[in-house]
Chains A and B, each alone.
Chain A
Amino acid sequence: MSKTQNAIISSVRTVMGWVPAQWLPGGTPDPLIERRAAIGRQASRLDGPLKVAGEARFAAEVAMDRLCYAALVHSPVTRGRITRLDTGAAETAPGVILVMTHRTMPRIGTLPLIGITDLSAVGNSSIPIMLDAEIRYNGQVVAAVVAETQEQADHAASLIEIDYAIDAARTRFQDARPDARTPASLLMDKNHVSIGNAERELKRAPHRVDNMYRTPAQNHNAIELHAVTAAWEGDSLVLHDATQMIAPSAAALAKLFGLKREQVRVLSPFVGGGFGGKGLWDHQIVAIAAARLAGRPLRLMLSREGVYRMIGGRSPSEQRVAIGADAEGRFTALLHTGYSVMPPYGACPEPYTLGTRALYGARSFEIMQRHLDLDIVPNTFMRAPGEAIGSFAVESAIDELAHAMGVDPIALRLRNLPERHPISGAPFSQHALGQAYAEGAKRFGWDRRHAEPGTVREGEWRIGMGCATGSFPYARMPGANVRITLRGDGTAVIACSAQEMGMGTATVQAQHAADRLGLPLEAISVELGDSALPAAPMAGGSSQTASIAGAIAAAATKLAGELLRLAGNDSPIAGLRAGEVQLVEEGIASIADPTRRESYRSILARAAREAIAVTAAGSAPLEFLKFAMHSSSAIFCELRVSAVTGEVRVDRLLGSFDCGTILNPKTAASQFRGGMIMGLGLALMEETLFDERSGRIMNPSLADYHIPAHLDVPEIDVIWTGIPDPRSPLGARGIGEIGITGVAAAVANAVFNATGKRIRDLPITLDKLL
């Protein structure tokens, strides 16, 4: 992420600013926004029957002949070098096929790091994978044992003896600050934003807050462990993987192992949760190499501890937020700066200030992030990277300011909502946070809140209410391809390599295709999860739905052209051009004169075709360079804090979302709730504990890293404005990540309202409230 990149993106944005909106994708609203039948319906998940019966096959569940099993050995030291390696006992243990270490690992290159310019670059780390004796972080994989059974592999792994020469390691967050790096950009944005003189404005402001907020490291903790089943067939590789980046992984692995793209097939029809963690890491590469050496198909499933040791999570952060306001509460200064970890061999910044650039107007801004270099497993993106923790800091600060000024925190926020994007000046495509607040507050009963903290008690419990804003940017990825196969029997198949991790992708895109093609929902089937299908981008940035929707729209246009050609001169639609027809009621019809129509069946029958197939890519996603496209939400929380134990119980949680068209209320509500529940974890319990002396994770298990369990989760109320975004396919914006944003601040603000204690250090555990 360089200065050059900043220059390129800002010049593209400038040019986009001159281009008339009609010329861009989304320039005229998607006609399906007005005309929909299956979209917006409460369809149950298409894969539901398979999942409830335990018949959905995940990556570690593919049966294969002669399958062998691998177990990994992780470094217990943080920096240093292997000085002695004795694999003798392991090699002669019962059932062992081979032991692979840096001495025997096939020589391969390193993965190109995740970036926004090369979509097949998906590496999370540039450290060579088991190619030398160097140790760069605690938990790094140093050996793999392959055996006939998992029990044999696990036992033999325990017999490997390794001595290390230990070097000094950088493991303390605070010690790394003097050497912090200042990156030029964060993802697509310039890092340093300085408008006016924010420090001076802050000093002059009649009202101000200025505080530090801290958030800990966290892990994704998908319940499915990372797993692969790898099989070489001659020089071709088949990989059953648990991944949220199917096509990009296949492309990257082909490069890494010197194969042609067609020689690598990655299958991942079901993924047991991803949240950013199921990318391409060392374990897939070790498994593929070991399978090659063993000459047999091989399965590797990480242990839960192994996931913590070698799959990075969310970076810890330390954030300063300062806000100055005039007598009316208008922001005169907004400062958001801080530190998070990103080792030089990592790829993923934690962009906690990105949301701050879009949400509120202010006379002056000072925004900048610094990266700390620690010797740790490289951190990666985790649900709503940046916004999840950035919103905690900013939305807590606003609550503090409101309290100091004696005004309602919602009123203070609404007073500072911008007309246009506060930094770029770009117009919003659609933005109704005010409406989301109004509807949410009414439904939640915000007017029953006592502004004075610590005034509501029920026995040992102190009760409080809080609210906060959540936000997440819209994204649509380039390179989304979809194939539509229309069959003579009036059914259609939508195929692409997209991933299903529980978002309901197949269900929602079937609904979309039904409306796009004018077919009943039952006539559509969807094939996903296989790199042999037309390539789709990774599932990330809440972009998959819009990206695939854009590709289906493009393929449908192409299909209309094909059908016109096929219909020929003997059809009622003869002579019409692609722009003059629409796909409705199981056929193609003139827009101007709907009586001129012919059904798909009839066209295909006359042409003696069983099926026609078209493949198309979505248009370049230029809409979000011209418009500010952001989803936002208002989160409300009511909770109790025990005056005796400090225990926090969340009684009510409501999310009021402004995310464009909601495509399937049932699966969308689940997505929102799922994000909000992870937000409760972020607020109250989640924390990856590093021993700062050794750099080792101390709680690598689900017994010691707490995530919300059933009793922690109240019934969650979810509502939305449902206002379509005129600039996006179907009027929809992504909803996978916004749910988590704002929740931690809403909880912290409610804790303050209940107790008068302001906790600026997540998670809000009971020790902090006593």
Chain B
Amino acid sequence: MKDIDIADLRRITELIKTKHSYDFTNYAMSSFKRRIVRILELYNLTVDSLIVKLSQPKFLEEFLNEITVNVTEMFRDPSFWRVLRDDIIPAILLNHQKIRIWHAGCSSGEEVFSMAILLKEMDILHNVQVIATDLDTNILERAKSGAYNLKNMDLNEKNYIRFQGTGSLKDYYQEVNGKAVMDKSLVMDVSFRKHDLVKGGIFNKFDLVLCRNVMIYFNQALQNEVLKKFHESLFKYGYLAIGSKESLIWCDIANKFIVVNNEEKIYKKIKD
């Protein structure tokens, strides 16, 4: 593996910041560095030639697709999804007939389909408005198409079984040309949009925000900024779910939330 130094990383992030409307300055250093090295190897570039290429808008889009880490699963952490189904969603339903959910950093959509299946099995799919966003346009297209590699379905199926769904994951997809094509009616009402958590504004209010395994790519300063946006995007008593190995306790905004489930990292906004 090649190594590049911090000065080179700064040159890259500075250029992107001044030439384009993205800011990677506050991404967590070690994984960002590995991503840059990976891009250099993939395109066979030096840091200097990468910087030249980055001025081209067309390449920038490709760069965004490669710099992001898109690894995801359906029903990742099955116990988390059980808590959503058994505790969180019923609690929201006590106060709201219509529920609004935001998947921030939805990647290729496995999380969105998991949610849709959960809601369908609760028989409330059509009472829920879901917005799914990501920075990476390529991956959003993949999410919209809802077609996955069959070899990933093994793991998804195992997770679904641990989630203890009412049927079988096979009820929700068909095998077409070696792909698992998800039932489109599941995400009929989902709005997939490009949105940048770093530069983007607040666009709606939600009962539940899921942002799992996204902020791990940010440093703490940026996590604080993004958490402020989530706080503003939630109704009072709305819920925020982060990845199972993330934590709110060090954040500026921690006192405006309470822990609802520490194991699954689900928080509730209690102060405006």
A and B, one complex? Answer: no
Query: B interface vs A, CB < 8 Å?
Result: none
- Seen from chain A, the residues whose Cβ lies within 8 Å of a Cβ on chain B are none
